[in-house]
Amino acid sequence: MKMKLILFFYLISMISFGQVRSFTGDESMLYAQTKQVNQFFRRFNGEEDATGKRLYKTDPRYRGVKLRKKYLNILFDLSSPLIPNDTKEVFILEINNKKHPIYLDFHANSWFAEVSSVFTYKGQNVSMILYFKLEQERQGYKWVLSNVHCGLFERYFNHVGESNSGNHFLHPMSHELDFMNLRKVFKDPKNIGFYLEKDYRPDQMALFLKEFQEGNMKFVSSNHVKFHFFQIPQWYFEVTYFNRNRNNSGWLISNLVRVKEKEKKEIIRNYTHEY
């Protein structure tokens, strides 16, 4: 009798273990880490199944609404305080609309890589942010440096964009004097920003190239990478890598903001030196 009871509980435990393993196994595949940026694109677009197998246009599941909904829900950093649930839900509904779905395009414009780096400038370490974008060349694509930002260069742009109520301006009749009053413009280098057009955008890229080519600035290391996406109409989102020992890890959406298209163009100017 005792042996029968042992055998009975053994069989029950095996069946139960098999059921749990099957359930958690399927779930773990679906909620696995998004380890590569390319995989983020595929999951966002519904071009990969729950086992990680890539789907093609001939597959009926390709870009399916149900598949996308599952993946889109797990492509967010669930720990981020920057993404309210209602904002996330509206975003998912809009891009996964049955009639007008919206997808990401790896080769399209309006997404940028941000690389936090360290350089030496005249012997001292300085932090530098490098921005990259994809550019087509012949039959392929390549990453190109689109802009840089360094606090070291901020000192060169005092008063840029500021309105001036003092005497730091050129009189509108200066041309009648053959601009003889230019002396006051270049008298104090700190005030040169007052004499620039109001829409002038500081070009730190030019300063960086000058200092680098002259040997004053040398690359040391890159520390952190994240991506900025502007491809979805009326939205901006940021993708960051999270190294966690759980399912909600890998490349995830860490920030999501609704942005008007006019405002978006202005924001993009921070990531590229183009106007």
Same domain, 151 and 205: yes
DSSP, collapsed to helix, strand or coil, labels residue 167 as coil
- Enter the pTM of the model: 0.81
Burial 190-229 (b: 16+ CB within 10 A, else e): ebbbbbeeeeeebebbebbeebeeeeebeeeeeeebbbbb
What angle (nearest 5°) sits at the alpha carbon of residue 43, between those of residues 60 and 235? 115
153 φ/ψ sector (left φ>0, alpha ψ -120 to 50, else beta): alpha
Same domain, 144 and 221: yes
In a domain, 10, yes or no: no
Same domain, 134 and 208: yes
127 Cβ neighbours under 8 A, 6+ residues apart: 116, 117, 118, 150, 151
Same domain, 238 and 222: no
Query: Rounded to a whole number, what is the largest CA-CA distance in the chain?
Result: 116
More confident residue, 134 or 200: 134
In a domain, 101, yes or no: yes
Same domain, 161 and 88: no
pLDDT value of position 131 = 98
**Which domain, by its residues, includes 270?**
33-110+230-275
Question: Do the beta carbons of residue 102 and residue 65 sit within 8 Å?
Answer: no
Cα separation, 150 vs 80, in Å, equals 27
Question: Do the beta carbons of residue 231 and residue 104 sit within 8 Å?
Answer: yes
Element (H, E) at 44: helix 37-45
Same domain, 125 and 209: yes
Same domain, 133 and 215: yes
Cα separation, 251 vs 111, in Å, equals 15
173-201 pLDDT, tens digit each = 888 888 888 988 888 888 888 888 887 78
pLDDT surpasses 70 at 125: yes
In a domain, 120, yes or no: yes
217-272 pLDDT, tens digit each = 999 999 999 999 999 999 999 999 999 887 889 999 999 999 999 999 889 988 98
Cα separation, 256 vs 109, in Å, equals 19
51-107 pLDDT, tens digit each = 889 999 999 999 999 999 988 989 999 988 889 999 999 999 999 999 999 999 999
